[in-house]
Structure 1
Amino acid sequence: MKTSLPPAIVLPKLPPIQREFVFTDDDFDRIRRFIHQRAGIALNPSKKDMVYGRLVRRIRTLQLGSFAAYLELLFSADRGREELEHFVNALTTNLTYFFREEHHFPILADHLRSRSGDIQIWCSAASTGEEPYSLAMTALEAASSGVRQSVSILATDLDTNVLRTGAEGIYGAEAINKLPSGMAQRYFDRLDEQRWQAKPALRQMIRFQPLNLVDPQWSIRGPFDAIFCRNVMIYFDRDTQLAVLRRFAPLLKPDGLLFVGHSENFYHATDLFRLRGKTVYERVNAL
Protein backbone atom coordinates (compact mmCIF):
# COMPACT_ATOMS: atom_id res chain seq x y z
CA MET A 1 0.00 0.00 0.00
CA LYS A 2 1.42 3.29 -1.07
CA THR A 3 1.34 6.05 1.51
CA SER A 4 1.79 9.71 0.82
CA LEU A 5 4.17 11.84 2.83
CA PRO A 6 2.81 14.82 4.69
CA PRO A 7 3.48 18.15 3.01
CA ALA A 8 6.74 19.79 3.92
CA ILE A 9 6.53 22.50 6.50
CA VAL A 10 7.87 25.76 5.18
CA LEU A 11 9.08 28.06 7.91
CA PRO A 12 8.65 31.76 7.33
CA LYS A 13 11.83 33.66 6.56
CA LEU A 14 12.82 35.70 9.58
CA PRO A 15 13.68 39.35 9.09
CA PRO A 16 17.32 40.33 9.70
CA ILE A 17 18.25 41.36 13.23
CA GLN A 18 17.76 45.07 13.71
CA ARG A 19 20.78 46.48 15.48
CA GLU A 20 21.10 49.85 17.13
CA PHE A 21 24.36 50.55 15.27
CA VAL A 22 25.60 49.52 11.84
CA PHE A 23 28.14 46.69 12.20
CA THR A 24 29.47 45.46 8.87
CA ASP A 25 31.56 42.40 8.05
CA ASP A 26 34.43 44.76 7.30
CA ASP A 27 34.10 46.30 10.79
CA PHE A 28 34.22 42.81 12.31
CA ASP A 29 37.25 41.77 10.24
CA ARG A 30 39.16 44.88 11.31
CA ILE A 31 38.35 44.13 14.96
CA ARG A 32 39.42 40.49 14.55
CA ARG A 33 42.77 41.51 13.09
CA PHE A 34 43.38 44.18 15.73
CA ILE A 35 42.55 42.04 18.80
CA HIS A 36 44.77 39.28 17.42
CA GLN A 37 47.61 41.74 16.95
CA ARG A 38 47.19 43.32 20.40
CA ALA A 39 46.21 40.34 22.55
CA GLY A 40 46.76 37.18 20.52
CA ILE A 41 43.03 36.39 20.65
CA ALA A 42 41.80 34.54 17.56
CA LEU A 43 38.10 35.28 17.00
CA ASN A 44 36.27 32.98 14.62
CA PRO A 45 33.39 34.28 12.45
CA SER A 46 30.76 32.93 14.84
CA LYS A 47 31.81 35.55 17.43
CA LYS A 48 30.42 38.51 15.50
CA ASP A 49 27.33 38.89 17.71
CA MET A 50 29.45 38.54 20.84
CA VAL A 51 31.80 41.29 19.66
CA TYR A 52 28.85 43.55 18.90
CA GLY A 53 27.42 43.01 22.39
CA ARG A 54 30.74 43.68 24.10
CA LEU A 55 31.68 46.84 22.18
CA VAL A 56 28.28 48.46 21.75
CA ARG A 57 28.51 49.73 25.33
CA ARG A 58 31.67 51.65 24.46
CA ILE A 59 29.95 53.21 21.42
CA ARG A 60 27.08 54.39 23.62
CA THR A 61 29.45 55.70 26.29
CA LEU A 62 31.48 57.63 23.71
CA GLN A 63 28.28 58.85 21.99
CA LEU A 64 29.37 57.64 18.58
CA GLY A 65 27.07 56.81 15.68
CA SER A 66 28.55 53.60 14.30
CA PHE A 67 31.23 50.95 14.63
CA ALA A 68 33.10 52.63 11.79
CA ALA A 69 33.31 55.81 13.89
CA TYR A 70 34.47 53.77 16.87
CA LEU A 71 37.24 52.11 14.84
CA GLU A 72 38.33 55.48 13.50
CA LEU A 73 38.73 56.67 17.10
CA LEU A 74 40.48 53.44 18.15
CA PHE A 75 43.03 53.73 15.38
CA SER A 76 43.63 57.45 15.83
CA ALA A 77 47.02 58.57 17.11
CA ASP A 78 45.72 60.86 19.86
CA ARG A 79 42.65 59.18 21.43
CA GLY A 80 43.31 55.60 20.36
CA ARG A 81 45.86 54.90 23.09
CA GLU A 82 43.34 55.85 25.78
CA GLU A 83 40.58 53.73 24.25
CA LEU A 84 42.77 50.68 23.63
CA GLU A 85 42.57 49.57 27.26
CA HIS A 86 38.76 49.70 27.19
CA PHE A 87 38.72 47.82 23.87
CA VAL A 88 40.90 44.96 25.11
CA ASN A 89 39.09 44.75 28.46
CA ALA A 90 35.73 44.51 26.68
CA LEU A 91 36.81 41.55 24.54
CA THR A 92 38.53 39.61 27.32
CA THR A 93 36.68 36.66 28.88
CA ASN A 94 36.99 36.47 32.68
CA LEU A 95 35.06 33.37 33.76
CA THR A 96 36.60 32.15 37.02
CA TYR A 97 35.80 30.88 40.51
CA PHE A 98 37.67 29.58 43.54
CA PHE A 99 39.42 26.21 43.05
CA ARG A 100 38.31 25.91 39.44
CA GLU A 101 39.55 22.59 37.97
CA GLU A 102 40.07 21.34 41.48
CA HIS A 103 42.25 18.35 40.52
CA HIS A 104 45.19 20.75 40.10
CA PHE A 105 45.38 21.90 43.69
CA PRO A 106 46.36 18.60 45.39
CA ILE A 107 49.09 18.27 42.73
CA LEU A 108 50.30 21.78 43.55
CA ALA A 109 50.19 21.04 47.29
CA ASP A 110 52.34 17.91 46.86
CA HIS A 111 54.71 19.89 44.65
CA LEU A 112 55.08 22.56 47.34
CA ARG A 113 55.57 20.04 50.16
CA SER A 114 58.59 18.67 48.32
CA ARG A 115 60.25 22.09 48.35
CA SER A 116 61.62 24.57 50.86
CA GLY A 117 62.92 28.11 50.94
CA ASP A 118 61.55 30.82 48.67
CA ILE A 119 58.79 29.58 46.36
CA GLN A 120 57.58 31.61 43.39
CA ILE A 121 54.33 30.91 41.50
CA TRP A 122 53.06 32.80 38.46
CA CYS A 123 49.33 32.95 37.76
CA SER A 124 49.38 34.35 34.23
CA ALA A 125 45.62 34.84 33.77
CA ALA A 126 44.53 36.05 37.20
CA SER A 127 41.18 37.55 36.18
CA THR A 128 39.31 38.82 39.28
CA GLY A 129 41.66 37.00 41.64
CA GLU A 130 39.91 33.77 42.56
CA GLU A 131 42.68 31.68 41.01
CA PRO A 132 45.69 33.34 42.71
CA TYR A 133 43.83 33.34 46.05
CA SER A 134 43.15 29.62 45.54
CA LEU A 135 46.89 29.13 44.98
CA ALA A 136 47.68 31.12 48.14
CA MET A 137 45.24 29.08 50.24
CA THR A 138 46.70 25.86 48.84
CA ALA A 139 50.20 27.04 49.77
CA LEU A 140 49.16 27.91 53.32
CA GLU A 141 47.40 24.57 53.75
CA ALA A 142 50.53 22.77 52.54
CA ALA A 143 52.70 24.84 54.90
CA SER A 144 50.53 23.81 57.84
CA SER A 145 51.98 20.32 57.42
CA GLY A 146 55.33 21.58 58.67
CA VAL A 147 57.02 22.68 55.46
CA ARG A 148 59.20 25.74 56.04
CA GLN A 149 58.97 28.04 53.05
CA SER A 150 58.06 31.52 51.87
CA VAL A 151 55.58 31.60 48.98
CA SER A 152 55.03 34.59 46.72
CA ILE A 153 52.52 34.66 43.87
CA LEU A 154 52.68 36.91 40.82
CA ALA A 155 49.18 37.46 39.42
CA THR A 156 48.97 39.03 35.97
CA ASP A 157 46.23 39.67 33.48
CA LEU A 158 45.56 41.63 30.32
CA ASP A 159 42.40 43.21 31.77
CA THR A 160 43.23 46.05 34.16
CA ASN A 161 39.69 46.22 35.55
CA VAL A 162 39.75 42.67 36.91
CA LEU A 163 43.20 43.20 38.42
CA ARG A 164 41.79 45.97 40.60
CA THR A 165 39.10 43.58 41.85
CA GLY A 166 41.73 40.96 42.59
CA ALA A 167 43.95 43.37 44.52
CA GLU A 168 41.01 44.41 46.72
CA GLY A 169 40.19 40.76 47.39
CA ILE A 170 36.49 41.45 48.05
CA TYR A 171 33.98 38.83 46.92
CA GLY A 172 30.27 38.25 47.20
CA ALA A 173 28.65 35.60 49.34
CA GLU A 174 27.81 33.49 46.28
CA ALA A 175 31.51 33.11 45.42
CA ILE A 176 32.59 32.57 49.03
CA ASN A 177 29.93 29.92 49.68
CA LYS A 178 31.56 27.69 47.04
CA LEU A 179 34.82 27.46 49.01
CA PRO A 180 35.72 24.13 50.63
CA SER A 181 34.46 23.74 54.18
CA GLY A 182 36.16 25.99 56.71
CA MET A 183 38.20 28.02 54.26
CA ALA A 184 35.96 31.08 54.32
CA GLN A 185 36.43 31.42 58.08
CA ARG A 186 40.18 30.76 57.93
CA TYR A 187 41.08 33.03 55.05
CA PHE A 188 38.39 35.72 54.70
CA ASP A 189 36.95 38.48 56.88
CA ARG A 190 33.25 39.16 56.67
CA LEU A 191 32.58 42.81 55.81
CA ASP A 192 28.78 42.62 55.78
CA GLU A 193 25.95 40.25 54.81
CA GLN A 194 27.05 40.06 51.19
CA ARG A 195 30.79 40.79 51.07
CA TRP A 196 33.91 39.04 52.27
CA GLN A 197 37.54 40.18 51.97
CA ALA A 198 40.68 38.06 51.82
CA LYS A 199 42.64 38.36 55.06
CA PRO A 200 45.78 40.55 54.97
CA ALA A 201 48.07 37.50 55.28
CA LEU A 202 46.52 36.10 52.10
CA ARG A 203 46.61 39.38 50.16
CA GLN A 204 50.24 39.98 51.10
CA MET A 205 51.28 36.78 49.33
CA ILE A 206 50.04 38.05 45.96
CA ARG A 207 51.28 40.84 43.71
CA PHE A 208 48.88 41.92 40.95
CA GLN A 209 50.20 43.60 37.83
CA PRO A 210 49.12 43.97 34.18
CA LEU A 211 50.81 41.82 31.57
CA ASN A 212 49.96 40.97 27.97
CA LEU A 213 51.24 37.51 27.02
CA VAL A 214 51.81 38.59 23.41
CA ASP A 215 53.79 41.72 24.25
CA PRO A 216 57.40 41.51 22.97
CA GLN A 217 58.76 42.24 26.45
CA TRP A 218 57.58 40.83 29.80
CA SER A 219 58.31 42.83 32.92
CA ILE A 220 58.76 39.72 35.08
CA ARG A 221 61.61 37.53 36.19
CA GLY A 222 61.75 33.88 37.14
CA PRO A 223 62.52 31.22 37.81
CA PHE A 224 59.12 29.97 38.95
CA ASP A 225 58.31 26.76 40.76
CA ALA A 226 54.95 26.66 38.99
CA ILE A 227 53.16 28.58 36.26
CA PHE A 228 49.38 28.54 35.92
CA CYS A 229 48.11 29.45 32.46
CA ARG A 230 44.67 27.89 32.36
CA ASN A 231 41.99 28.40 29.71
CA VAL A 232 44.00 31.08 27.94
CA MET A 233 45.68 29.21 25.11
CA ILE A 234 42.30 28.17 23.69
CA TYR A 235 41.93 31.77 22.48
CA PHE A 236 45.32 31.70 20.69
CA ASP A 237 46.15 30.21 17.33
CA ARG A 238 48.86 27.55 17.18
CA ASP A 239 51.71 29.93 16.31
CA THR A 240 50.83 32.22 19.22
CA GLN A 241 50.62 29.24 21.58
CA LEU A 242 54.09 28.08 20.58
CA ALA A 243 55.53 31.58 20.97
CA VAL A 244 54.15 31.85 24.52
CA LEU A 245 55.29 28.33 25.47
CA ARG A 246 58.81 29.07 24.27
CA ARG A 247 58.89 32.02 26.66
CA PHE A 248 57.38 30.05 29.56
CA ALA A 249 59.97 27.26 29.43
CA PRO A 250 63.08 29.21 30.52
CA LEU A 251 61.05 30.96 33.25
CA LEU A 252 60.33 27.63 34.95
CA LYS A 253 62.78 25.92 37.26
CA PRO A 254 64.05 22.64 35.78
CA ASP A 255 61.62 20.70 38.00
CA GLY A 256 58.85 23.30 37.79
CA LEU A 257 55.30 22.57 36.64
CA LEU A 258 53.02 24.20 34.06
CA PHE A 259 49.28 23.92 34.77
CA VAL A 260 46.89 24.44 31.84
CA GLY A 261 43.16 24.26 31.19
CA HIS A 262 41.10 21.09 30.75
CA SER A 263 40.67 21.56 26.98
CA GLU A 264 44.27 22.50 26.24
CA ASN A 265 47.07 20.19 25.11
CA PHE A 266 50.49 20.88 23.66
CA TYR A 267 51.31 17.85 21.52
CA HIS A 268 52.83 20.34 19.07
CA ALA A 269 55.39 21.51 21.68
CA THR A 270 56.94 18.22 22.80
CA ASP A 271 60.40 19.73 22.50
CA LEU A 272 59.45 22.15 25.30
CA PHE A 273 57.05 20.32 27.63
CA ARG A 274 55.97 16.77 28.36
CA LEU A 275 52.75 15.69 30.03
CA ARG A 276 53.17 14.76 33.68
CA GLY A 277 49.54 14.45 34.79
CA LYS A 278 46.07 15.57 33.85
CA THR A 279 46.72 18.93 32.12
CA VAL A 280 49.97 19.32 34.07
CA TYR A 281 53.24 19.62 32.17
CA GLU A 282 56.91 19.61 33.10
CA ARG A 283 59.84 21.10 31.25
CA VAL A 284 61.90 19.15 28.80
CA ASN A 285 65.23 20.00 30.40
CA ALA A 286 67.35 20.05 27.24
CA LEU A 287 66.74 23.79 26.80
Structure 2
Amino acid sequence: MFPYTITDKEFRQLAAYIKANFGIYLKEEKKVLLVGRLSPVLQQLQIDTFSDYYDYLLSDKSGEALTTLINKISTNHTFFMREAGHFHFLKEKVFPTLLPSLPKKDLRIWSAGCSTGEEPYTLAMLIDEYLNHEKKLWDRKILATDISENALSIAKTGIYNKQAVASLPKNWRLTYLIQHNNEEFEVIDDIKREIVFRRFNLMRPVFPFKKKFHIIFCRNVMIYFDHQTKLALIDKFYHWLEPKGYLFMGHSESIDKEYQKFHYIIPSVYQKE
Protein backbone atom coordinates (compact mmCIF):
# COMPACT_ATOMS: atom_id res chain seq x y z
CA MET A 1 0.00 0.00 0.00
CA PHE A 2 1.64 3.23 -1.12
CA PRO A 3 1.55 6.11 -0.34
CA TYR A 4 1.36 5.23 3.34
CA THR A 5 -0.65 6.97 6.04
CA ILE A 6 -0.24 6.77 9.80
CA THR A 7 -2.97 6.95 12.43
CA ASP A 8 -2.60 8.92 15.65
CA LYS A 9 -2.34 5.66 17.59
CA GLU A 10 0.35 4.30 15.26
CA PHE A 11 2.33 7.52 15.52
CA ARG A 12 2.18 7.52 19.34
CA GLN A 13 3.24 3.87 19.35
CA LEU A 14 6.23 4.43 17.09
CA ALA A 15 7.19 7.72 18.76
CA ALA A 16 7.23 6.01 22.18
CA TYR A 17 9.35 3.18 20.79
CA ILE A 18 11.83 5.61 19.24
CA LYS A 19 12.08 7.64 22.45
CA ALA A 20 12.60 4.52 24.57
CA ASN A 21 15.36 3.20 22.32
CA PHE A 22 17.11 6.35 21.10
CA GLY A 23 15.94 9.22 23.32
CA ILE A 24 14.60 11.12 20.31
CA TYR A 25 11.35 12.92 21.13
CA LEU A 26 9.04 13.24 18.14
CA LYS A 27 6.33 15.86 18.45
CA GLU A 28 3.02 15.57 16.60
CA GLU A 29 4.24 17.87 13.83
CA LYS A 30 6.91 15.29 12.95
CA LYS A 31 4.25 12.86 11.73
CA VAL A 32 4.70 13.74 8.06
CA LEU A 33 8.49 13.52 8.38
CA LEU A 34 8.26 10.08 9.98
CA VAL A 35 5.96 8.77 7.25
CA GLY A 36 8.21 10.18 4.53
CA ARG A 37 11.37 8.60 5.92
CA LEU A 38 9.88 5.22 6.77
CA SER A 39 7.55 4.64 3.81
CA PRO A 40 10.38 3.25 1.60
CA VAL A 41 11.24 0.81 4.39
CA LEU A 42 7.67 -0.47 4.62
CA GLN A 43 7.50 -0.74 0.86
CA GLN A 44 10.74 -2.72 0.68
CA LEU A 45 9.57 -5.06 3.44
CA GLN A 46 6.14 -5.36 1.79
CA ILE A 47 4.45 -4.24 5.00
CA ASP A 48 1.06 -2.59 4.57
CA THR A 49 0.58 -0.55 7.76
CA PHE A 50 2.61 1.13 10.47
CA SER A 51 0.96 -1.16 13.01
CA ASP A 52 2.41 -4.14 11.16
CA TYR A 53 5.77 -2.34 10.99
CA TYR A 54 5.69 -1.80 14.76
CA ASP A 55 5.01 -5.51 15.27
CA TYR A 56 7.93 -6.25 12.94
CA LEU A 57 10.22 -4.03 15.04
CA LEU A 58 9.22 -5.86 18.22
CA SER A 59 9.63 -9.31 16.70
CA ASP A 60 13.00 -8.74 15.01
CA LYS A 61 15.77 -10.26 17.11
CA SER A 62 18.65 -9.60 14.70
CA GLY A 63 18.89 -5.87 15.44
CA GLU A 64 18.68 -5.05 11.73
CA ALA A 65 15.23 -3.48 12.01
CA LEU A 66 16.38 -1.19 14.81
CA THR A 67 19.51 -0.19 12.87
CA THR A 68 17.49 0.62 9.76
CA LEU A 69 15.03 2.65 11.82
CA ILE A 70 17.68 4.90 13.39
CA ASN A 71 19.50 5.30 10.09
CA LYS A 72 16.25 6.60 8.58
CA ILE A 73 15.11 8.92 11.34
CA SER A 74 18.41 10.40 12.53
CA THR A 75 19.47 13.75 11.11
CA ASN A 76 23.14 13.87 10.13
CA HIS A 77 23.61 17.48 9.17
CA THR A 78 27.09 18.79 9.98
CA PHE A 79 30.11 20.38 8.33
CA PHE A 80 33.75 21.22 9.02
CA MET A 81 34.30 24.08 11.49
CA ARG A 82 30.61 24.11 12.42
CA GLU A 83 30.10 26.70 15.18
CA ALA A 84 33.71 27.73 14.67
CA GLY A 85 33.81 29.79 17.87
CA HIS A 86 34.16 26.57 19.84
CA PHE A 87 37.37 25.64 18.05
CA HIS A 88 38.80 29.13 18.54
CA PHE A 89 37.90 28.94 22.23
CA LEU A 90 39.65 25.57 22.51
CA LYS A 91 42.81 26.93 20.94
CA GLU A 92 42.91 30.27 22.73
CA LYS A 93 41.47 29.48 26.18
CA VAL A 94 41.11 25.76 26.90
CA PHE A 95 44.34 24.25 25.58
CA PRO A 96 46.68 26.85 27.17
CA THR A 97 45.24 26.12 30.64
CA LEU A 98 44.20 22.48 30.34
CA LEU A 99 47.22 20.90 28.65
CA PRO A 100 49.86 22.10 31.17
CA SER A 101 47.69 20.57 33.93
CA LEU A 102 47.96 17.08 32.41
CA PRO A 103 51.28 15.76 33.76
CA LYS A 104 50.99 12.43 31.95
CA LYS A 105 50.38 14.20 28.63
CA ASP A 106 47.27 12.11 28.15
CA LEU A 107 44.47 14.04 26.39
CA ARG A 108 41.08 12.34 25.99
CA ILE A 109 38.27 13.86 23.93
CA TRP A 110 34.83 12.45 23.09
CA SER A 111 32.84 13.61 20.08
CA ALA A 112 29.39 12.29 21.02
CA GLY A 113 27.02 12.33 18.07
CA CYS A 114 29.85 12.76 15.58
CA SER A 115 27.61 12.20 12.55
CA THR A 116 29.66 11.94 9.34
CA GLY A 117 32.94 12.80 11.05
CA GLU A 118 33.61 16.45 10.32
CA GLU A 119 33.66 17.42 14.00
CA PRO A 120 36.25 14.88 15.25
CA TYR A 121 38.43 15.45 12.17
CA THR A 122 38.35 19.19 12.87
CA LEU A 123 39.37 18.50 16.47
CA ALA A 124 42.24 16.25 15.34
CA MET A 125 43.51 18.92 12.94
CA LEU A 126 43.33 21.57 15.65
CA ILE A 127 45.28 19.40 18.09
CA ASP A 128 47.89 18.58 15.47
CA GLU A 129 48.42 22.26 14.70
CA TYR A 130 48.46 23.29 18.37
CA LEU A 131 50.88 20.64 19.62
CA ASN A 132 53.04 20.80 16.50
CA HIS A 133 56.45 19.23 17.23
CA GLU A 134 55.41 18.22 20.76
CA LYS A 135 52.62 16.02 19.42
CA LYS A 136 54.76 12.87 19.57
CA LEU A 137 55.14 13.40 23.34
CA TRP A 138 51.38 13.19 23.86
CA ASP A 139 48.99 10.27 24.12
CA ARG A 140 46.01 11.65 22.23
CA LYS A 141 42.66 9.93 21.99
CA ILE A 142 39.56 11.18 20.20
CA LEU A 143 36.58 8.87 20.56
CA ALA A 144 33.91 9.64 17.96
CA THR A 145 30.54 7.96 18.38
CA ASP A 146 27.19 8.03 16.64
CA ILE A 147 24.09 5.88 16.58
CA SER A 148 23.85 5.85 12.78
CA GLU A 149 25.83 3.18 10.93
CA ASN A 150 25.31 5.11 7.69
CA ALA A 151 26.88 8.25 9.14
CA LEU A 152 29.79 6.32 10.64
CA SER A 153 30.57 4.57 7.36
CA ILE A 154 31.04 7.98 5.73
CA ALA A 155 33.09 9.20 8.68
CA LYS A 156 35.46 6.24 8.52
CA THR A 157 36.25 6.82 4.83
CA GLY A 158 37.17 10.45 5.55
CA ILE A 159 36.21 11.43 2.00
CA TYR A 160 34.25 14.66 1.47
CA ASN A 161 33.20 16.82 -1.43
CA LYS A 162 34.48 20.26 -2.30
CA GLN A 163 31.63 22.09 -0.57
CA ALA A 164 32.10 20.14 2.66
CA VAL A 165 35.76 21.12 3.07
CA ALA A 166 35.41 24.71 1.87
CA SER A 167 34.98 26.04 5.43
CA LEU A 168 38.35 24.68 6.56
CA PRO A 169 41.25 27.15 6.72
CA LYS A 170 43.26 27.03 3.49
CA ASN A 171 46.45 25.85 5.22
CA TRP A 172 44.49 22.98 6.81
CA ARG A 173 43.09 21.93 3.44
CA LEU A 174 46.64 21.84 2.05
CA THR A 175 48.13 20.08 5.10
CA TYR A 176 45.47 17.59 6.13
CA LEU A 177 43.61 16.69 2.94
CA ILE A 178 44.50 14.79 -0.22
CA GLN A 179 42.71 16.00 -3.32
CA HIS A 180 41.65 13.04 -5.47
CA ASN A 181 39.94 15.09 -8.17
CA ASN A 182 38.21 18.41 -8.47
CA GLU A 183 35.35 17.27 -6.26
CA GLU A 184 36.75 14.75 -3.73
CA PHE A 185 39.07 15.32 -0.79
CA GLU A 186 40.29 12.72 1.70
CA VAL A 187 41.59 13.25 5.23
CA ILE A 188 45.22 12.12 5.50
CA ASP A 189 45.99 8.90 7.37
CA ASP A 190 47.90 10.69 10.16
CA ILE A 191 44.69 12.49 11.13
CA LYS A 192 42.50 9.42 10.63
CA ARG A 193 44.67 7.52 13.11
CA GLU A 194 43.88 10.08 15.81
CA ILE A 195 40.24 9.00 15.93
CA VAL A 196 38.41 5.85 17.02
CA PHE A 197 34.93 5.65 15.47
CA ARG A 198 32.32 3.54 17.28
CA ARG A 199 28.58 3.03 17.08
CA PHE A 200 27.13 4.09 20.40
CA ASN A 201 23.66 4.78 21.78
CA LEU A 202 23.64 7.65 24.28
CA MET A 203 20.56 6.08 25.88
CA ARG A 204 22.62 3.18 27.25
CA PRO A 205 21.97 3.01 31.00
CA VAL A 206 25.68 2.50 31.71
CA PHE A 207 28.58 3.87 29.68
CA PRO A 208 31.41 1.31 29.37
CA PHE A 209 34.44 3.62 29.33
CA LYS A 210 37.62 2.83 31.24
CA LYS A 211 38.79 6.42 31.66
CA LYS A 212 37.12 9.79 31.92
CA PHE A 213 37.43 12.54 29.32
CA HIS A 214 38.94 16.00 29.52
CA ILE A 215 36.64 17.38 26.82
CA ILE A 216 33.24 16.22 25.58
CA PHE A 217 31.61 17.64 22.46
CA CYS A 218 27.89 16.87 22.21
CA ARG A 219 26.52 19.51 19.92
CA ASN A 220 23.06 19.73 18.37
CA VAL A 221 22.13 16.29 19.66
CA MET A 222 20.08 17.08 22.75
CA ILE A 223 17.72 19.32 20.76
CA TYR A 224 15.99 16.06 19.83
CA PHE A 225 15.49 15.00 23.46
CA ASP A 226 12.84 15.96 25.98
CA HIS A 227 13.82 17.71 29.21
CA GLN A 228 14.20 14.63 31.41
CA THR A 229 16.21 12.70 28.81
CA LYS A 230 18.50 15.71 28.37
CA LEU A 231 19.09 16.07 32.13
CA ALA A 232 19.88 12.38 32.50
CA LEU A 233 22.43 12.59 29.70
CA ILE A 234 24.03 15.74 31.12
CA ASP A 235 24.41 13.87 34.43
CA LYS A 236 26.26 11.09 32.60
CA PHE A 237 28.51 13.59 30.85
CA TYR A 238 29.30 15.17 34.21
CA HIS A 239 30.27 11.79 35.62
CA TRP A 240 32.50 10.95 32.64
CA LEU A 241 34.39 14.24 32.66
CA GLU A 242 37.60 14.69 34.59
CA PRO A 243 37.51 17.49 37.20
CA LYS A 244 37.80 20.85 35.40
CA GLY A 245 36.82 19.10 32.15
CA TYR A 246 34.76 20.87 29.51
CA LEU A 247 31.39 20.12 27.93
CA PHE A 248 30.65 21.76 24.57
CA MET A 249 27.01 21.89 23.47
CA GLY A 250 25.38 23.35 20.36
CA HIS A 251 24.83 27.10 20.24
CA SER A 252 21.06 26.57 20.50
CA GLU A 253 21.48 24.36 23.58
CA SER A 254 22.06 25.21 27.21
CA ILE A 255 22.01 23.77 30.73
CA ASP A 256 19.30 25.06 33.04
CA LYS A 257 20.51 27.53 35.65
CA GLU A 258 19.09 25.42 38.48
CA TYR A 259 21.42 22.58 37.46
CA GLN A 260 24.29 23.42 39.78
CA LYS A 261 26.96 20.87 38.86
CA PHE A 262 28.43 22.52 35.77
CA HIS A 263 30.01 25.96 35.80
CA TYR A 264 28.90 28.22 32.95
CA ILE A 265 31.89 29.53 30.96
CA ILE A 266 30.48 31.08 27.77
CA PRO A 267 27.27 30.31 25.86
CA SER A 268 27.14 26.54 25.16
CA VAL A 269 30.43 25.81 26.99
CA TYR A 270 30.45 24.44 30.55
CA GLN A 271 33.13 23.23 32.96
CA LYS A 272 32.92 20.53 35.61
CA GLU A 273 33.50 22.02 39.04
- With the length of structure 2 as denominator, give the TM-score of the two structures: 0.92
In the other structure, the counterpart of 1:120 is: 108
Which of the residues 24, 32, 38 maps onto 2:21? Answer: 38
Distance 1:78 1:139, change over 3 A: closer
Structure 1 residue 93 corresponds to structure 2 residue 75? yes
Contact 2:4 2:35 in 1 (8 A): no
In the other structure, the counterpart of 2:123 is: 135
Q: Which has the larger radius of gyration?
A: 1
> What is the distance in 2 between the residues matched to 1:278 and 1:180?
24
- In structure 1, give the amino acid aligned to 2:53: Y
In the other structure, the counterpart of 1:206 is: 195
In the other structure, the counterpart of 2:229 is: 240
Distance 1:48 1:224, change over 3 A: same
Contact 1:222 1:252 in 2 (8 A): no
> What is the distance in 2 between the residues matched to 1:221 and 1:53?
40
> What is the distance in 1 between the residues matched to 2:26 and 2:231?
18
> What is the distance in 1 between the residues matched to 2:124 and 2:66?
32
> What is the distance in 2 between the residues matched to 1:228 and 1:262?
12
1:83 Cα shift? 0.5
Distance 1:152 1:26, change over 3 A: same
May I ask how many residue pairs the two structures share in their alignment?
Answer: 266
Equivalent runs, 1:15-94 vs 2, <5 Å: 20-78=3-61, 81-94=63-76
1:157 Cα shift? 0.7
In the other structure, the counterpart of 1:6 is: none
Structure 1 residue 109 corresponds to structure 2 residue 91? yes
RMSD: 1.9
In the other structure, the counterpart of 2:140 is: 151
> What is the distance in 2 between the residues matched to 1:118 and 1:222?
11
- With the length of structure 1 as denominator, give the TM-score of the two structures: 0.87
In the other structure, the counterpart of 1:160 is: 149
> What is the distance in 1 between the residues matched to 2:169 and 2:60?
49
Contact 1:158 1:211 in 2 (8 A): yes
SS of aligned partner of 2:125: helix
Equivalent runs, 1:129-278 vs 2, <5 Å: 129-144=117-132, 149-267=138-256, 270-278=259-267
Deviates most, 82-91 or 108-117:
108-117
Identity of aligned residues (%): 34
Structure with higher helix content: 2
1:257 Cα shift? 0.6
Q: Give the gaps of 5 or more residues in structure 1.
A: 1-18
- In structure 2, give the amino acid aligned to 1:191: H
